[in-house]
Structure 1
């Protein structure tokens, strides 16, 4: 009998093991997925015992009062409905439509509206598919942002009945946010009653008004607030819905906004119709039915949580922003008197308004001060809580520790909000406690607290001479080196964030910029955020007459022309030069000495993105130094072709009125000196009237000839 052929050695054994593992994997795939089993009572008791031992972690869904929340979470985490997929042709069409809307190269608003309507007709019946599509959900956001009220009502009607699932979807939740934001300005418009119309897909179009649609959304989600409060995607939409119901502005573009994360994509597309009239910084009037609905919505969100777990929500990354919005609405929208209610969110978080040592409120606040998430809630409290409560909080928890708090990278932001509310005497005391920490803050480049302190001292009229002396001692005594230390001049910059400098400069409250380091051969690099904070501090110092501004002005005069040109070409430091040339604290004597450093470099700076703004600032800086301005204009005129070949150079040429300089020198001289000439004022003064150009004379002759021909 022939023997069976068998492979020998390690290769055969390895192949056999692979075959066995493959069969096990296939069996696991074919087996039904295990269903999540609800923990038994014994498991809950054991869990509670373990949680008591480890008090640092407190879960949000445990205890007798959390049964409803757990069941709601199980229901919310159920299978998401599948609305279908777009076919290949539909995906290609919507992708092209997305590109056209992104380019926004329409001749006028009418053409754009016609295109949007045509896309809506193609998307009829497929709205839910598009909203849940990874590739086309952005198209739905763009469509909503460009829609008029009628189109928004149409989309809103399609989403009704599906919001519970849409707000939890990774892509559709962004569409819901955009829909709420752009529907908010039109909630006061009444919809004329008319019989329901049949849409092209055979469904009845709703005749509900936008206000009634918002109420339907609340009715649809009301049983799930406890779960949606900490749901990853739905929490963003809930914040928007809260602000819309309150009539508060919803600004998703600000980096310091609690409505959306900093990673959210900003579409930046123009709105249509009624949306063009509203701005995100204005409060809106809302229907009377919104206020009781908002109160009930906020009460239902926290009614299932006892005080312990409500406090645990303060350090939960997803639930904390929603808690901030609710606390803001409670203190600002409903009035600070609402904080006296024992059931209010503020009183449940801090029941002891005295904040004395040893109380639960003091322990809770001190635990949040150094927490990256919880400190944001303390900022909201400090900014909006009633004055009496704030004074107790400041007196017992912040006043004596404000110096050490300012050293911390997290608690320092609470110090900023505190400084904004202090009066003159308290601000003077706070400055005395922060002054000893100035050398350490300068060394670690934590300059936000000194900058805000300077700004508040200017507003409260507090003497800043002691603070100026502290800064002078913190930096080098040599004026040349001092400015380099302030602006981090000549140090390597982190390339990962260098391109964001221009954008960051426009942010007033720059948010919580983290220091990013990148290892180099010669040591660690200086991040763009550190350069930015140094520039902002120098600009704040320039606004204060006296020793503070003199520190910067003397340092600028000590620099060489090459260093000044280098400063002008950097995005952050160029702002310091612009402020030094234009602020009221800038004296004529300083400008007379400083402006000459730019002569011979104007053409080079005019073609630079940052330097061109400095050249523009030189126009107003030389208003009372006409002979210097004339020399600079002559330098620009000699390089006319070079400037005209550059986009930035043409802007500088226009801002300096160089065409007027070449053709009508007298008018340019009057404009350069700030003398406004009125043609009517020439009468009786003996001055020569303004001469007309050849083109104007030709137009007059042509008009006279046409008039004569018409009369004949």
Structure 2
């Protein structure tokens, strides 16, 4: 007799028990509500009919199928917050195609620009009618951003037209909001362009592919109309706020910077989608203000008024510490003070006057209390930075005199308020900067000990610009570091790390983590990341000191001369410290005596450094450093020449070989010597340094002279 087909093992038994328990729960839960009482009287029927027209009562017997009410609710959702709008999903084949297209754009292995443009156009044809699906897709929204960033004006207008009518939902979408942001940024340069004339349609194009009739300026005005009435809500919406910031800057014609760390457009967590070869020239150009249509100015002013008009002063000040609303408030305050003129700050309804109604900032006033409450707030201090940078001079002087001047030393100690001190130092005159330096000097030992080096660095830079004497500050730095020059440089660049110091630092870190709720462990930041940041700030401070002639730069130069050759080679191979060596070799404060003593430390290690990523830059700097020390340069060139094949086998080595003109050294030694000494030899027979004429040119001149003589004889 055949056996019964049964599953074996504990997993099968557990699964069967779970199914039985689930089945029993469903039977018990459905039993009481399985029966429904039938109305017996006409009164009950009338009550049920009224329930169909009135809002549903709790525990109602049934829910009527009212399609008209559902349609009205859907229209409200579409016109309101955008909830419930669904554009559909891409099928498997479409997702695979767009994923491959994304990979091809990242690889950037196109033969030329024409082939790349044809590929982008083919992707647009495939995405026709699916733009909203792609923008809302988690996997394909990045492709839409890349396509927009690489599109021409015609393609941008086409995508813009497909988004029109849905911006209220798109700007609030987690993925589509980034597509809207990219679209606004790349459409901004062409807002002044006229609408192109309608082109003849190709035979294989459909009506949907027709060129949009609206210009980009009209499209932006359409976006404003779609978002009308929702500005107050979008101000603090998680995903819409960064898109709103971009829109405000575009309407004002201001450059939109999403790469800088100081940018208020995007957070530091924003994913940077970069493509090789995309906008290379534009990234190198400094951002500049763009011209915009005349209709943008009143529209921008109306948007800003609508955002804050419905908020009372208490709620507006609360936005200063709101993590989402604060960046938008920064942009509006910046535009109010820079775009509409600082005279707008006198308006009692302006954002600045509503935040700080008392321009005197005297002790006990509402403005002074508000500012002091934000100085130590990680979010609110950024708004104070914007105020300090752009507020009118008279208002800034009152703010500095009553709230910052006497406390600038203690504020510089704080990791949050220190950034407000930086913006303050940028606006101080020579006398005020001298007084501020005297107050900060007393805090220098504590700043050096806790590696709060950004305030000393900026103070040095501002003193150079304002021509303030830095000798007292150099004395304070000398007392803060070790007297031994060899140890001083290691302290500056964080190179002296002993095992005992490591253990003490670990104990201090553990204690600090317990006090702060183990924030550093949760953030994933370990000792390696902290030490790299400390090395970077130490290197920047040393570079700033090298730019000042006198005691400040002498502290670094004397420390460099006190190091051994092994330490110098080690410094040359580290990315942060190698920058200090490059500046020490090339800056005008570097004397010939220093370079004569210092450059000899590199002899015998040139090849080792030339093959290193950071050391190769130091070798390039040695070419400039030895311009007046020819015998040192010649010895280094001989060392490079003896290892020619080793250098040619390396990418970094070939760069060093080219920068040192070693081909000229190999073939025409005399010309290389002249170039190494900075001598421009004039060719024989030429007194003005012009290029000697060829035989053909000389013959042509003789022929022209004969023709002129013959013509004159006639």
TM-score, normalised by the number of residues in structure 1 = 0.81
**Is the CA contact 1:514–1:529 (under 8 Å) kept in the aligned structure 2?**
no
CA contact (8 A) 1:185 1:275 kept: no
- Structure 1 stretches lacking a partner, 5+ long: 1-10, 32-71, 494-512, 697-712
Q: Which residue of 2 aligns with 1:117?
A: 121
Mapped partners of 1:332, 1:26: distance in 2: 69
Residue number in structure 1 paired with 2:421: 415
State the alpha-carbon separation in 2 of the partners of residues 105 and 341 from structure 1: 56
Going from structure 1 to structure 2, the CA distance change for 1:17 and 1:107 (only over 3 Å counts) comes to closer
CA deviation map 1:141-177 (0-9, x unaligned): 1111111111110000000000000001111111101
TM-fit CA distance, 1:206: 3.0
The alpha-carbon deviation at position 483 of structure 1 amounts to: 0.3
Alignment of 1:64-213 (within 5 A): 77=81, 79-192=83-196, 194=198, 200=206, 202=208, 206-213=212-219
Please say if residues 488 and 526 of structure 1, whose CA atoms lie closer than 8 Å, have aligned partners that are also in contact.
no
Superposition deviation, residue 207 in structure 1:
0.3
Q: 1:268 to 1:26 in 2, by over 3 A?
A: farther
TM-score, L = length of structure 2: 0.81
| 1:310 match | 316
In structure 1, the partner of 2:368 is 362
Deviations 1:96-139 (A, max 9, x none): 11111111222222221111111111110000011111111111
Q: Distance in 1 between matches of 2:220 and 2:200?
A: 19
Specify the alignment match of 2:38 in structure 1.
Answer: none
Deviations 1:358-414 (A, max 9, x none): 000000000000000000000000000000000000000000000000000000000
How far apart are the structure 1 equivalents of 2:549 and 2:310? 56
Please, which moves more after superposition, 262-271 or 573-582? Answer: 262-271
Q: What is the aligned counterpart of 2:266 among 256, 260, 264?
A: 260
Report the counterpart of residue 286 of structure 1 in structure 2. 292
Which of residues 375, 392, 397 in structure 2 aligns to 1:391? 397
**Alpha-carbon distance between aligned partners in 2 of 1:686 and 1:360, rounded to the nearest angstrom:** 72
Query: Which residue does the alignment assign to 2:384?
Result: 378
The match for 2:351 is 345
2:88–2:133 CA contact under 8 A, matched in 1: yes
Q: Report the counterpart of residue 224 of structure 1 in structure 2.
A: 230
Asked whether the 8 Å contact 2:326–2:380 carries over to 1, the reply is: yes
**Deviation at 1:265?**
2.0
Contact 2:108 2:276 in 1 (8 A): no
CA distance in 1: counterparts of 2:551 and 2:24, whole angstroms: 78
Contact 1:313 1:319 in 2 (8 A): yes
Question: Aligned to 2:250, which of 222, 244, 265?
Answer: 244
Q: Residue 673 of structure 1 is aligned with which of 665, 677, 693?
A: 677
- 2:622 corresponding residue in structure 1: 618
- The structural deviation recorded for 1:345 is 0.4
Determine helix, strand or coil for the equivalent of 2:111: coil
Structure with higher RCO (Cα < 8 A, 6+ apart): 1
Say if 1:517 and 1:525, in contact at 8 Å, map to a contact too: no
Indicate which of 448, 465, 468 corresponds to 1:459.
465
Distance 1:545 1:275, change over 3 A: closer
Q: 1:514 to 1:113 in 2, by over 3 A?
A: farther
Pick from 325, 328, 334 the counterpart of residue 322 of structure 1.
Answer: 328
Equivalence for 1:52: none
Distance 1:300 1:136 in 2: 35
Residue 272 of structure 1 and its aligned partner are, at CA, apart by 8.0
- CA distance change for structure 1 residues 197 and 328 in 2, over 3 Å: closer, same or farther? farther
Deviation at 1:77, TM superposition (A): 4.7
Change in Cα spacing, 1:25 to 1:517, as seen in structure 2 (3 Å) is farther
- 8 A Cα contact 1:541 1:552, kept in partner: yes
Bigger Rg, structure 1 or 2:
2
Aligned to 1:632: 636
Is contact 2:613–2:652 with CA below 8 Å preserved after alignment? yes
Provide the C-alpha distance between the structure 1 equivalents of 2:302 and 2:333, rounded to a whole number of angstroms.
Answer: 14
Mapped partners of 2:236, 2:88: distance in 1: 28
Query: Which secondary structure does the structure 1 equivalent of 2:628 belong to?
Result: coil
What CA distance in whole angstroms lies between the structure 1 residues aligned with 2:281 and 2:571? Answer: 42
Give the deviation of 1:621 after TM superposition: 0.2
State whether structure 2 residue 462 is matched by structure 1 residue 449.
no
Distance 1:143 1:26, change over 3 A: farther
Q: Distance in 1 between matches of 2:283 and 2:477?
A: 47
